């Protein structure tokens, strides 16, 4: 007990000043040393040699023998030796705690650790390199130096014999028939068992009271389906390591939209109350237009739409068809006030953080595969924006027609560490795309045929970024400044260029993704924003930073040459970039999460039996403290939306956008933030978080499941 108090006491010192007014930021380093020496080292199984260790791990089915044997034994010795050299993997106590609590391999009886951070990084490098020795060494270096971090499912499972899948989360359509509903539930169970979060679209399900076999008032609506899904996710988890997690998306013009939202209220009737399932709302342009004009909005029967249009509700644009739908007497419609809907959304978000919001027309206008279908939903963390297409089933639930569903293969770049050596940036992005492509080509998705088909056809990836605030603060830039927007624009512009270049080169090996010839990539139209316009730093400070770090930005000629090559060779991957919340891996990498600002310079978390743990911001010091001092709640949503919308111009999917509101904020303030995000062409809104001071004297308190992917997004949040 005294040992535990020792490292916790050092960690707690981080947030206090000494008698001279200086913070004890160095105390967190002492906490790491004590934790590793007192807690980890005595409980780690040791071996006399590497050969003995590997033999044990293979014999007892901890490590995948086939993966290790795909490399020459001399190289295995070489890469293990490299992994152990001069590595300081943890920059914060929270990083060490997160790794050993959530990622490190343990004996089956849970008594002893079998690997450290270097071992886990190494097994990831071997897996992600797909047998290429030099690539494995390069990926290992990027992980150990915290430039590149795989998503939680990949980092947790790579190289293990008994494991879940490497994929972060999955998106499934449900059609308006019992076979599709049944298949979606069984598939969700299978995917949840393997450690993935699952999002499902309910938009096409007929509303409560709709006919069944032409008999009126028979349908029971969406709530019973939501209840079945919630129970399924509660039941299935990955060996108890990762709780099942699910989300359901519904279109804002579905007749049961108000009941859908009411299901999350704390005082909801138990018959409709949904406790653990996440909710997402798909909102088209017309809803905002009607609210602006203070008009009623029509809710349309999906049952009738499918019979009139010959296709499901999610496959038509409600914005484009709105007037025709209003005028059609064969489509049942009910009315609510558009502003009433937004008021209800805001009230519920203050109460629960839900619903997520996907701006339907915004993402579909950017959709490079619009000829293949529409984007009808997102995932548990709102950063995925891809096309789902419908499947058809026989009565025995076998497929009559196999549609395409979606999986998320995720990882994140640490912006601050990536910028330290600009000459390495192209190699970093190239290796990261190769690594994610390997995940897409190695995952076993047999339990979900529609997702397998979508993955095989598209090999879609989601490379993201984190530690934006960390980079800005350590380089003397305030988060809510012109320089911050300038840097964000240039960084993601460069990231997009090298990602597309890497995928083009992969297409030379694997061929182009299936629908490339029909995409906006093939004719070059997607890239006009780059070939026609020059992007370069607009502020002196950012211009100097890129020069300081020897970082050369692509120019128009680079893009023109790349587009010519893309037209010739294609792209191996239909999608490349998506920015996830990075809740867990940002702690693991000791950096600030995603693109959002820190809550405070020293965050306070409650970690189970340990109690409070203090997490200093990335490389926090007396010198840069002022750049962290105004946290997310003090900054408010406006500067966060500004930065996210700037990055979104270069991200082909979406960015998880969390809105932080002060305790005195009103629903009108939140509605204003929705409108700003919508007008600035953000793709989605993730959580809304409202500051609540619940710990006396603390700068912040983040005992919040929304920042722990093991409780929610499975690893988009990583």
Identify the active-site residue in 207, 383, 483, 603.
Answer: 383
- Give the Cβ contact number of residue 335 at 10 Å: 10
Catalytic option among 381, 407, 408, 713: 381
The answer to whether 379 is a known catalytic residue is yes
Return phi, psi of residue 171, to 5°: -125, 125
3-state SS, 244-311, equals CCEEEEEECCCCCHHHHHHCCCCCCCCCCCCCCCEEEEEECHHHHHHHHCCCEEEEECHHHHHHHHCC
Report residue 442 CA to chain centroid gap: 20
Cβ(432)–Cβ(413) under 8 Å? Answer: yes
DSSP-derived secondary structure for 153-199: HHHHHTTBSS---S--EEEEE--SSHHHHHHHHHHHHHHHHTT-EEE
Q: How far from chain centre, in Å, is Cα 129?
A: 23
Neighbours of 135 (CB within 10 A): 18
* Cα-Cα end-to-end distance for the chain: 31
DSSP lists the bridge partners of residue 99 as: none
Say how far apart CA 689 and CA 699 lie, in whole Å: 16
Catalytic choice (364, 379, 455, 489): 379
C-alpha of 45 from chain center: 34
Task: HSE, CB side, 13 Å, CA atoms: give it for residue 283.
Answer: 26
For the beta carbon of residue 423, count every other beta carbon within 10 angstroms: 10
Q: What is the DSSP string of 419-464?
A: HT-GGGHHHHHHHHHHHHHHHHHH---TT-HHHHHHHHHH---EEE
Contacts 24+ apart (CB under 8 A), 23-30: 23/620, 23/622, 23/625, 25/616, 25/620, 25/621, 25/622, 28/92, 28/93, 28/614, 28/616
Our answer to whether residue 383 is catalytic in this structure is: yes
Please, which residues have CB within 8 angstroms of residue 635's CB and are 6 or more apart in sequence? 479, 480, 597, 660
Dihedral angle, C-alpha 123, 124, 128, 131, nearest 10 °: -10
CA 97 – CA 103 distance, rounded (Å): 10
For the record, the structure tokens of 25 come out as 């930021």
Is-contact 380 713, C-beta < 8 A?
yes
Q: Is 220 exposed, middle or buried (0-12, 13-18, 19+ CB in 10 A)?
A: middle
DSSP calls for 194-239: TT-EEEEE-TTSPPTT--BTTBTT----SHHHHHHHHHHHHH--BT
Active site (annotated) includes residue 664: no
Catalytic residues: 379, 381, 383
């Amino acid at each position: 007990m005294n040992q535990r108090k020792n490292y916790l006491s050092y960690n707690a010192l981080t947030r206090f000043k000494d008698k001279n007014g200086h913070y004890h930021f160095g105390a967190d380093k002492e906490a790491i040393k004590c934790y590793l020496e007192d807690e980890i080292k005595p409980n780690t199984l040791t071996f006399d040699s590497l050969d003995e260790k590997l033999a044990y791990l293979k014999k007892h089915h901890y490590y995948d023998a086939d993966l290790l044997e795909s490399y020459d034994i001399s190289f295995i010795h070489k890469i293990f030796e490299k992994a152990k050299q001069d590595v300081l993997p943890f920059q914060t106590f929270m990083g060490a705690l997160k790794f050993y609590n959530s990622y490190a391999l343990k004996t089956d009886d849970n008594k002893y650790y079998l690997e450290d951070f270097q071992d886990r990084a190494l097994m990831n490098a071997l897996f992600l390199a797909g047998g290429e020795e030099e690539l494995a060494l390069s990926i290992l270096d990027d992980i150990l130096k915290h430039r590149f971090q795989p998503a939680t499912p990949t980092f947790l499972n790579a190289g293990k014999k008994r494991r879940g899948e490497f994929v972060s989360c999955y998106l499934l359509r449900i059609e308006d028939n019992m076979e599709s509903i049944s298949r979606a539930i069984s598939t969700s169970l299978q995917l949840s068992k393997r450690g993935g979060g699952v999002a499902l679209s309910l938009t096409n399900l007929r509303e409560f009271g709709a006919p069944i076999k032409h008999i009126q008032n028979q349908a029971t609506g969406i709530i019973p389906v939501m209840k079945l899904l919630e129970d399924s996710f509660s039941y299935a988890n990955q060996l108890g390591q990762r709780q099942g997690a699910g989300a359901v998306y519904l279109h804002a013009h579905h007749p049961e939209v108000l009941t859908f939202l009411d299901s999350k209220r704390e005082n909801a009737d138990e018959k409709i109350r949904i406790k653990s399932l996440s909710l997402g709302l798909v909102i088209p342009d017309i809803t905002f237009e009607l609210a602006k004009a203070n008009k009623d909005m029509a809710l349309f029967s999906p049952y009738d739409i499918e019979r009139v249009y010959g296709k499901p509700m999610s496959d038509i644009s409600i914005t484009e068809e709105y007037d025709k739908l209003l005028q059609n007497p064969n489509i049942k419609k009910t009315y609510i006030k558009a502003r009433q809907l937004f008021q209800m959304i805001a009230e519920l978000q203050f109460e629960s953080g839900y619903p997520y919001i996907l701006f339907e027309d915004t993402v579909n206008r950017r959709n490079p595969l619009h000829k293949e279908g529409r984007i009808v939903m997102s995932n548990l963390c709102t950063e995925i924006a891809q096309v789902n297409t419908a499947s058809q089933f026989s009565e025995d639930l076998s497929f009559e027609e196999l549609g395409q569903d979606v999986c998320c293969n995720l990882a994140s770049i640490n912006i601050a560490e990536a910028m330290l050596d600009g000459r390495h940036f192209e190699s970093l992005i190239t290796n990261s795309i190769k690594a994610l492509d390997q995940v897409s080509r190695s995952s076993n998705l047999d339990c979900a045929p529609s997702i397998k088909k979508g993955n095989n056809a598209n090999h879609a990836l989601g490379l993201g970024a984190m530690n934006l605030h960390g980079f800005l603060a350590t380089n003397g830039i305030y988060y809510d400044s012109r320089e911050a927007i300038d840097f964000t624009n240039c960084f993601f512009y460069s990231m997009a260029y090298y990602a597309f270049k890497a995928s083009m080169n992969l297409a030379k090996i694997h061929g182009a993704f299936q629908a490339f010839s029909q995409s906006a990539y093939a004719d070059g139209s997607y890239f006009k924003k780059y070939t026609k316009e020059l992007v370069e730093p607009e502020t002196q400070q950012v211009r100097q930073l890129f020069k300081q770090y020897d970082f050369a930005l692509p120019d128009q000629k680079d893009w023109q040459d790349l587009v010519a090559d893309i037209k010739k060779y294609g792209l191996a991957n239909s999608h490349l970039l998506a920015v996830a919340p990075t809740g867990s891996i940002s702690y693991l990498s000791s950096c600030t999460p995603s693109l959002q600002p820190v809550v405070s310079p020293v965050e306070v978390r409650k970690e189970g039996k340990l109690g409070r743990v203090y997490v200093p911001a990335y490389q926090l010091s007396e010198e840069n403290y002022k750049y962290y001092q105004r946290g997310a709640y003090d900054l408010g949503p406006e500067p966060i939306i500004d930065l996210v919308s700037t990055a979104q111009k270069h991200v082909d999917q979406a960015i998880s956008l969390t809105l932080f509101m002060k305790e005195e904020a009103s629903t009108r303030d939140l509605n204003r933030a929705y409108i700003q995000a919508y007008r600035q062409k953000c793709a989605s809104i993730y959580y809304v978080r409202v500051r609540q001071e619940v710990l006396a004297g603390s700068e912040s308190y983040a005992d919040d499941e929304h920042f722990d992917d093991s409780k929610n997004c499975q690893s988009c949040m990583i």
